[in-house]
Structure 1
Amino acid sequence: MTAHDTLVDLPAAGAEPLAALVGADLQVPLVTGGTARYVNLDHGASAPALQAVAGRVAEFLPHYASVHRGAGFPSITSTAAYEAARRSVAAFVGARPDDVVQVVRNATDAFNLLATAVPGDVVHLDLEHHANLLPWRERGSRVVAAGSTVAATLSALEAELARTPAALLAVTGASNVTGELLPLAELAALAHRHGARIAVDGAQLVPHRRVDVAALGLDYLAFSGHKLYAPYGAGVLVGRRDWLDAAPPYLAGGGAVRRVTVGGAVWTTSPARHEAGTPNAVGAVALAAACDALAAIPAEVQEAHERDLRGRLAAGLTALPGVRLLTLWDGEVDAVGLVTFTVDGFPAELVAQYLSAEHGIGVRDGRFCAHPLLDRLHDGRTAVRASLGLGSARGDVDRLVAAVRALVESGPAWTYSDEHLPVPDPRPLPLGLV
């Protein structure tokens, strides 16, 4: 299957899935008896694999061997595939010719690596995912509270960067709580105006919107394969070479060195400098396949599909009494296909368990690894997040809205424990997987 095979001839935006996903027809048991087609509205946590990605991995696996270290033909093939994956990723995100594509585990890993390389303070907003909060704390982290408008937020960042020089401005591309997009070109220009670089957490952005690193003026971009329909354990940090070449090796081990003696080592340059040990070649191949597949879908088609679904979801939920959507700048900016909401009288954990147990719908509940933002938007309490993707369609949105309506009007049909788990839970787990 090629990337183009994933496309579907849409009668209208949002009416049908945009791509074929593994598990799209999965049937899940319900506590009330019988089964239902699983509606996956948890893409923001981990997206299922594209069929094109699974096919590429299956094609690669017979050739899998040691990368960069073997003379056998499978090793030569694996090395070529691993390095070709970097080129596919670089092309997909519009990297500059001299940028490094550093293969890591995920966006969290990428920022922990970058934190070892930043030669100064880091400024970031309070709305960030923990992956873009916690790694900077040992690097002179300076937190700026997002304003009530985008303009006020930009002004606050400018004032902080003007007050005291910083090496890096680290921002999200799209909030993993509200889905709202930040103006990356403006932020990049702002950072550069004050002598700082910019690093973007693209974990929630790259699966939904095209990103051009060079055109936007970004210095670093991080994203995860498991959110980009390639759940095989790889992510990337894409960006400028000099800081990475000057940083200590992220891991000390084979492949990261030019020469080792009993008393010392001469380290090589990036990307090998930070990829000690046997790399995740399968994950890199999968991630490249996902990039190729998404590149084959016209950007305007994906955006129209998502806007239709998100608008339908937001309108359906806000029409229900007692349901509130969480937003940073309500209606002021575009957003990816993600909606976080609360239901009066029902804890978020109960809502999520109810949707799964009685309706076969998967969502996320909690504070989404963004505790400071939930402190601001919902007094630190938990909420429910529904996140859409290439495999989503209007029928999925309508099933969620109908299920929440039934909860608001009649309450759950099943009993739930103090921990909000269904009691009893008669759903059998798949044999062989547990």
Structure 2
Amino acid sequence: MTTTLVPALRSATEPDPARPAEAADAGPGPLGVLGVPGQVNLDYAATAPCARVAADAVAELLPWYGSVHRGAGAASRRSTLAYERARQTVGDFLGARGDDHVIFTRNTTDALNLLARALPAGTTVVTFAGEHHANLLPWRGGTVRLPVPRSAGAALRALDAALGELRRDTDGAAPVLVAVTGASNVTGECWPVAELALVAHRHGARIAVDAAQLAPHVPLDIAALAVDYVAISGHKLYAPFGAGVLAGRADWLDAAPPYLAGGGATTAVGAATHDVRWARGPARHEAGTPNLLGAVALAAVCAALESADRTALHAREQALLARLRSGLAALPEVLELRTFDAAAPRVGIVSFVVAGRDSTRVAEELGREHGIGLRDGLFCAHPLTRRLLTEAATRAGRSDLPPTALRASIGLGSTRDDVDRLLTALAGLG
């Protein structure tokens, strides 16, 4: 679970200032990302820039854009083929098993809400308090929220104990789903997904992984990790065209009522109100005209990443991440937020605060004065971020930390110059 994306070559031509350009060091190849000259994008964790291959795939298909599954003309037939090929490509990228469903959604939040709607009656969901809101809020009925663990090992022990207690209380008869992140959107820290899956299955539970932040940085293999469901977002994965995916076991999804009721989710509709035969498979939960361009763009990025040297990409990103973290640590007023110890594996995300400075104003100054874009706030993970802010204040013995944090995130297209510009700007804050 520690691989990556290819180092890109610097373009031999100067960017045209009149149009968006590919980021320096991202190169003109398929995995080069688009950007604005002079601007530093350190907000990949919110929305990653568009990969050239995604833009090209959309441009190529646009003249043929037509109805998916709903026409006999050339445009419709080509669009339908492109959509279903995209489904196969994304499934292969995720290591989906032959009998898994790959369902296109809007994003990870939508995918996890779909799964929440598909849970069998009486299912208990076990999750951790450090999750993104997308993996905290959708779950209905019985929910067990475990405290934020201090380490990967502590997460495993806490889950084992919680599932053991649930099993005793229910005699192992009620369904249980464990819902966890693959990599934190606040700290970038990677969670022990394969080991958590082993614990879950030992207790007869299933496991769903919010892989929104993991998939852009680390190869995923549903079968190898032995997880039951994975949710991802295209806009985190260099395909910002409004598509996401829920991939995983078919039985709960086929047994559940359709996520949306409408055309495409049925095989037959009669005159009577309840005379409806719902489709099985992905179509059951994809009613309405699908996001063809989003699916095709996401598949194009997945295919490009599959053929890339992800080990080299990972090494490049980790070197930039180490430079960023060591540079922040050298600034006396800057404190990094973390859940696990400082050496824990992580992807290219760092959250921090500047003591005595309001995070929103710092972010505004960085953007206005230095052309640096990053995120400020609580990152749709309010319980975790507030806790980490309190812990950072305690560790540092400070009482002047702001109530929100800053987050710098990197990926394809990020450079040493980007990192150094941020560090220099932070060092020069008035």
* Distance of 1:366 and 1:307 partners within structure 2: 25
* Distance of 2:26 and 2:70 partners within structure 1: 42
Partner of 1:124: 127
- 1:235-384 matches, within 5 Å, as 235-263=244-272, 264=274, 265-379=276-390, 381-384=403-406
Q: Which of the numbers 203, 211, 217 marks the counterpart of 2:220?
A: 211
Partner of 1:198: 207
Tell me if structure 1 keeps the 8 A contact 2:197–2:207: yes
Partner of 2:399: none
* Distance of 2:180 and 2:46 partners within structure 1: 19
Q: CA deviation at 1:103?
A: 0.2
Q: Which of the numbers 382, 386, 395 marks the counterpart of 2:408?
A: 386
Tell me if structure 2 keeps the 8 A contact 1:146–1:152: no
Tell me if structure 2 keeps the 8 A contact 1:66–1:278: yes
Tell me if structure 1 keeps the 8 A contact 2:43–2:410: yes
Tell me if structure 2 keeps the 8 A contact 1:7–1:297: no
Tell me if structure 1 keeps the 8 A contact 2:386–2:404: no
Q: CA deviation at 1:270?
A: 2.1
Question: CA offsets per residue over residues 367-408 of structure 1, 9 Å max, x none?
Answer: 00001101211149210000001010111000000000001x
In the alignment, structure 1 segments of 5+ residues that lack a partner are 1-5, 28-36, 412-434
* Distance of 2:59 and 2:138 partners within structure 1: 35
Partner of 1:22: 34
Tell me if structure 2 keeps the 8 A contact 1:47–1:228: yes
Matched, 1:175 2:184: yes
* Distance of 1:7 and 1:64 partners within structure 2: 33
Partner of 1:135: 138
* Distance of 1:259 and 1:300 partners within structure 2: 49
Tell me if structure 2 keeps the 8 A contact 1:108–1:131: yes
* Distance of 2:298 and 2:374 partners within structure 1: 24
Q: CA deviation at 1:332?
A: 4.2
One-letter amino acid of the counterpart of residue 161, structure 1: L
Tell me if structure 1 keeps the 8 A contact 2:250–2:281: yes
* Distance of 1:54 and 1:218 partners within structure 2: 31
* Distance of 2:182 and 2:286 partners within structure 1: 26
* Distance of 1:8 and 1:302 partners within structure 2: 9
Tell me if structure 1 keeps the 8 A contact 2:163–2:203: yes
Tell me if structure 1 keeps the 8 A contact 2:33–2:51: yes
Compute the TM-score of the two structures, normalised by the length of structure 1. 0.87
In the alignment, structure 2 segments of 5+ residues that lack a partner are 1-5, 11-23, 168-174, 391-401
Q: Which of the numbers 158, 162, 182 marks the counterpart of 1:160?
A: 162
Q: CA RMSD in A?
A: 1.4
Give the SS at the match of 1:237: strand
Q: Return 263-272 or 376-385, whichever deviates more.
A: 376-385
* Distance of 2:403 and 2:158 partners within structure 1: 26
Q: CA deviation at 1:319?
A: 0.1
* Distance of 1:175 and 1:385 partners within structure 2: 12
One-letter amino acid of the counterpart of residue 82, structure 1: Y
* Distance of 1:333 and 1:262 partners within structure 2: 60
- 1:70-81 matches, within 5 Å, as 70-81=71-82
Partner of 1:188: 197
Q: Which of the numbers 145, 148, 159 marks the counterpart of 2:147?
A: 145
Give the SS at the match of 2:46: coil
Give the SS at the match of 1:116: helix
* Distance of 1:300 and 1:43 partners within structure 2: 20
One-letter amino acid of the counterpart of residue 73, structure 1: A
Q: CA deviation at 1:322?
A: 1.1
Partner of 2:171: none
What is the percentage of aligned positions where both structures have the same residue?
A: 56
* Distance of 2:307 and 2:321 partners within structure 1: 22
Partner of 1:429: none
Q: Return 331-340 or 184-193, whichever deviates more.
A: 331-340
Q: CA deviation at 1:331?
A: 2.5
Runs (4+) off by over 6 Å: none
Compute the TM-score of the two structures, normalised by the length of structure 2. 0.88
Matched, 1:107 2:119: no
Tell me if structure 2 keeps the 8 A contact 1:41–1:388: yes
* Distance of 2:300 and 2:426 partners within structure 1: 36
Question: CA offsets per residue over residues 219-243 of structure 1, 9 Å max, x none?
Answer: 1000000110101110000101000
